[in-house]
Chain A
Amino acid sequence: MTTLLLFNITNGLIIGAFYVLMALGLSLILNLSNVINFAHGGFLVIGGYIAWTLSPYLGFWGSLIVAPFLTAIIGLIIERFMIRRLYGRDPLYSLLLTFGFAFIIEDGTRYIWGAQGKPVSVPAILAQPLSYDFFFLTGYRVFMVAVVAIAVVVLFVLLRYTRAGVRIRAGTLDLETVAALGVNVRALRSLNFAVGIYLAGLSGVLASGQLGLESTMGTGLLMPSFIAIIVGGVGSLTGTLLGGLLIGVASGITTVFLPQASEAVMYVIMALVLLIRPRGLLGEEGMMT
């Protein structure tokens, strides 16, 4: 029983780490650009497929590094030519645009890479379990969590200590003032969008090693990321981090006792948070209005 519980908590943490990586990207874009990026799951899938295509040439490690960058470039192009035109308008339009893109990406990846799911092999060094007592702790899972942890730390350090990072955080609170101080808000938003998409691409590469590749896999990870943001509090990246881990672990624990409710428990948590603490765990007062 303890092993089972431990297994599912670990599982929950790993899944939670995925949610965190997705949700942080979504959250960055939402905070600065006021865009709900419905295509985020699509970018995850693109990242996975690019890595799959590149891996015969670059190997696993090379594609792990290159694929998220290429995904970010695709994201940047879409931002530059489409989404940017909608910033001044009702958020409804950018939401619909990314909604349309989610369709195009899902269908496009299926067209290019086929409807059949693609198995993804990970390097042998990561494929073995670390110990026989804890058979579920394969090297790859530990590696995944480690990559997520590094990505999160790097992101937070960048946001804290670089000039662009400080501007992004300032823009989240008051974009008008940031613009009035002479910051190029357009470039800032593009950069921010690209970082968000980079994170989506990275989660795609990591996820494909664990789950295999399918053109629909992004959609399933999108909704938990939304919930992670709402639970953690809109406007707070630390909150998003916390929210993602919380719902991941909660659904992991629920799997032990009531498997069919593992998905529902996230929504229950969200409802409770909205009821008791409407701004989310770490949300700023007034951010969610």
Chain B
Amino acid sequence: MRLAVVAGMWILLALAPFWMPFLGGYTALGTRVLVLALAAMSVNFLLGFTGVLSFGHAAWFGLGAYGCGLSLKFLAFSTPLGLLMGTLLGGVAGALLGALMVHRRGVYFAMVTIAFGQVFYYIAFQWSSLTGGDDGLRGFARQPIELGFLRFDILHDDRAFYYFVLICFAIIVSIMGFILRSPFGHTLIAIRENERRARFLGIPIERHIWIAFTLSCFFMAFAGSLYALVNNFADPRGLHYSLSGDFVIMAVMGGMRSFWGPLLGAVLFEVLQDYISSVTVNWMSFIGMLVVVVVLFFPRGILGLVRQPRAA
């Protein structure tokens, strides 16, 4: 049953460019949603499976975007290199700052992550000679992928780019799933369920949380790098804590205790936001109300509703 659902989901994703136009979507929206879903899943890797709330994850997302953009602009016209540089920039920064933060728990951890996340927002905002400041980083574009015998023109062909992103998505998601199924992943869940007991069992909690945080930062930075490719653009708003909030909402809305929940949440959130902001200028109020309703009435998210109720 579960296998059938997951297989169906992959088929839907794989055929998205063909069925989306009938529902009023377009391929570029699909690509963006997929990237944001990857980001929401990275947040949830930490939130849903380690029980650690980071509210500043947009920082690593945005650093990935800037890293990728700067690499494409100044280093070399190479998409894979851009992805690599973006992922490294965001991931390494996350790993370093994470070491400073992992001793906090709960709301205090959230608060420290928000505050540190904003550091990068201000850097991107102020260092305009490198980053373009408020106007954002322009002047780069994703480059066609050359595999020797094959050439993916992801710059001009929207569909090719969608499939490129889908393949990246599949790879990262498989890595995430693999980690969560490993003994290490089970340890993370044990920490989420009962940190004190896990500590008494001799598990080095801080080190595990730091590793989980770092992994999540790398995933996040990869998603951010992809996002730079989607827009051929990176701007400071991609680092702002309100984007972190969006990712957390996606995860909660879809169901943060399930692996695929954030994907569903991201699809819903983005499509709703896309729609609402096209019909009213007061879209912020509606998104705010959506968040309030989800928090008050559907705290376990959509997949949480579908599944067997269990003690949270």
Contact = CB atoms under 8 A, between A and B. Distances in A.
Given A92-B47, A260-B126, A274-B100, A100 B288 contact: yes
Interface size class of B (residues with CB under 8 A): 35 or more
A234 B107 CA distance: 11
Interface string A99-125: 111111011100100000000000000
B266 interface: no
Nearest to B290: A100
Contacts of A107: 282-285, 288
A278 B122 contact: no
Q: Report whether over half of chain A's contact residues are helix, strand or loop; otherwise say mixed.
A: helix
Interface string A250-289: 0000000000110110010011001100100000000011
A214 B245 CA distance: 23
Contact of A89 (B111, B115, B289, B299): B299
Given A264-B122, A288-B104, A226 B285 contact: no
A230 B111 contact: yes
Contacts of B104: 288-289
A263 B124 CA distance: 12
Contact of A96 (B111, B116, B122, B248): B248
A263 B282 contact: no
A101 B287 CA distance: 10
A93 interface: yes
Interface string A36-59: 101000000000000000000000
Contact of B108 (A92, A93, A288): A288
Contact of B292 (A89, A100, A111, A226): A100
25 contacts: A30-B111, A34-B106, A90-B312, A92-B47, A92-B53, A93-B299, A95-B55, A96-B248, A96-B291, A97-B291, A107-B285, A108-B285, A111-B282, A226-B111, A230-B115, A261-B126, A263-B122, A263-B126, A264-B122, A264-B123, A264-B126, A267-B118, A278-B103, A288-B103, A289-B105
Nearest to B248: A96
Interface of B: 47, 53, 55, 100-101, 103-108, 110-112, 114-116, 118-119, 122-123, 126, 245, 248-249, 252, 282-285, 287-292, 294-296, 299, 312
A52 B85 CA distance: 50
Given A107-B284, A263-B126, 10 more contacts: A96-B252, A97-B296, A99-B291, A103-B291, A106-B284, A230-B112, A264-B122, A264-B126, A274-B112, A289-B104
A97 B291 CA distance: 7
Interface size class of A (residues with CB under 8 A): 35 or more
Contacts of B53: 91-92, 95
Contact of B114 (A226, A264, A275): A226
B107 A34 contact: yes
In the A-B complex, the 6 residue pairs with the closest CB atoms: A100-B291, A103-B288, A104-B288, A107-B284, A107-B285, A100-B288
A30 B100 CA distance: 22
Contacts of B292: 82, 97, 100-101, 104
A215 to B, nearest CB: 10
A270 B115 contact: yes
A103 B289 CA distance: 9
